[in-house]
Amino acid sequence: MATENEAVIGASSAREPRSLAIAEGGIETGNDFAKCMSALMSDIIACRVTPQVGNAVCNAGGKLLKVVELQLRYGSAKEPNGERILHLTPAIALGAEKQAK
């Protein structure tokens, strides 16, 4: 049976980036994000990903973390499980839009 870290550790002769498989599976937790970034560093060192792609992924990752921070800081706890929702438009505009439909 495969372990969680199997995609990150071990030598690989394949040209396909390890970080690609992790990213395609989705980044849902901090652990997923850390695994993807670790694999991305390995991919850059092994020349499986260009530095330009690595830079773009790191920039997008930083923005993803910023959204999580904003949800935690400013989001409203509307979900039963305590998950916070961050509305990017004022609630009044959301209500007016729903009534217009």
| DSSP tag of 84 | E
Q: Domain ranges for the chain, please list them.
A: 4-75
- Grouping H, G, I as helix, E, B as strand and the rest as coil, residue 77 is strand
Task: Write down the pTM of the prediction.
Answer: 0.67
Cβ-contact 94, 78 below 8 angstroms: no
One digit per residue, pLDDT tens: the chain, 101 residues? 344 544 445 555 568 999 999 999 999 999 999 999 999 999 999 999 999 999 999 999 999 999 989 988 888 877 677 778 887 777 666 555 555 55
| DSSP tag of 76 | E
- CA–CA gap between residue 25 and residue 35 (Å, rounded): 12
